[in-house]
Amino acid sequence: MDSSPFSLEGKIALITGGSRGIGREAALQFAGAGADVVVVGLDLPDLQNVAAEVKALGRRSLALEVDLTDSEQIFSTVARATTEMGAIDILVNNAGMGLTERFMEGKIATWTKLLSLNLLGHIVITRAVLEGMIERQSGKIVNIASDAGRAGSSGQVVYGATKGGMIAFTRNLAVEMSRYKININCVSPGLINTVMWNKTRQVTPKLAEAYEKTIPWKRLGTPAEIASAILFLASNKADYITGQILSVNGGVFIGG
């Protein structure tokens, strides 16, 4: 039964990093709204568990392992998803890796991996999925950035650069894809209670505490609260919204 005000009935969605956290919640909310869902990323057993949860909600689902830092794997994964499930209507670029460090202590090998996943990987999978969307002149893409890409903070320089890149990618691609009636939007989470944020808390507890103190709502966000924003932007209620960045952050003021 579709209890969601945002229907995705008849749609096929592909969600990267769908094994846990925000990606898993998006997969479940999408299924609740009537979509069939392909979850891709690392950790095949976890992805398969999420696919089983989607199926339990009465939708079709497929779990595919892919390392998003590998372009060849990305193209073959999208081809397989399309063959087995059908044309992709919605792409959610959610997979990601966190990094909190002092800039001058950073390692170039780590930055290369971060850029390959958090920025280039999404650009490449978008290219692969857009071919079908352009043919059909329809589609919705929701990118997941971070407020670290919108506002400056100590310790998130290169992570923030990857997310700022996703924001610029969203704005530019949205304009270019408007002629095909494809919406490209971006959800920019604040601090969300997931494995990623809990790792930051372990590695840099003082910095994490300082960030958390800035939240007017005095609590972390939940993956479900981010997934709801993704669902809205993926639905036809957002047909006239494109190139926009929606912060979901418990009231932190982001200027500009």
Please state, in angstroms and as integers, the Cα–Cα distance from residue 27 to each residue in 30, 112, 171, 185, following that order.
5, 29, 25, 18
SS3 118: helix
Residue 168 binds ligand NAD (CB under 6 A)? no
Q: How far is the CB of 214 from ligand NAD (least distance, A)?
A: 13
Q: Report CA Rg, the chain.
A: 17
Q: How far is the CB of 169 from ligand NAD (least distance, A)?
A: 13
Which candidate, 160, 164, 153, 155, places its Cα nearest to that of 100?
155
Q: Cα separation of 109 and 210, whole Å? A: 28
Residue 63 binds ligand NAD (CB under 6 A)? no
Q: Give the one residue of 43, 53, 75, 215 binding ligand NAD; rule: CB under 6 A.
A: 43
Q: Give the one residue of 191, 227, 231, 246 binding ligand NAD; rule: CB under 6 A.
A: 191
Q: Which among 91-99, 123-131, 168-176, 227-235 is the span making contact with ligand NAD, rule CB under 6 A?
A: 91-99
Q: Which among 28-36, 77-85, 123-131, 185-193 is the span making contact with ligand NAD, rule CB under 6 A?
A: 185-193
Residue 22 binds ligand NAD (CB under 6 A)? yes
Which candidate, 50, 5, 45, 43, places its Cα nearest to that of 27?
50
Please state, in angstroms and as integers, the Cα–Cα distance from residue 124 to each residue in 34, 72, 128, 194, 214, following that order.
27, 10, 6, 26, 35
Q: How far is the CB of 6 from ligand NAD (least distance, A)?
A: 20
Residue 170 binds ligand NAD (CB under 6 A)? no
Residue 250 binds ligand NAD (CB under 6 A)? no
Residue 180 is among the residues annotated as catalytic for this protein: no
Q: Give the one residue of 6, 11, 14, 19 binding ligand NAD; rule: CB under 6 A.
A: 19
Residue 14 binds ligand NAD (CB under 6 A)? no
> Which tokens is 167 given?
């924001």
Q: Give the one residue of 11, 12, 15, 23 binding ligand NAD; rule: CB under 6 A.
A: 23
CB-wise, 34 or 37, nearer to ligand NAD?
A: 37
CB-wise, 8 or 66, nearer to ligand NAD?
A: 66
Q: How far is the CB of 41 from ligand NAD (least distance, A)?
A: 3
> Which tokens is 82 given?
């399309």
Q: Cα separation of 229 and 246, whole Å? A: 8
Please state, in angstroms and as integers, the Cα–Cα distance from residue 75 to each residue in 51, 126, 247, following that order.
21, 10, 30
Which candidate, 45, 69, 49, 51, places its Cα nearest to that of 15?
51
Contacting residues toward ligand NAD, per CB under 6 A: 17, 19-23, 41-43, 66-69, 94-97, 117, 144, 146, 189, 191-192, 194-197
Residues annotated as part of the active site: 159
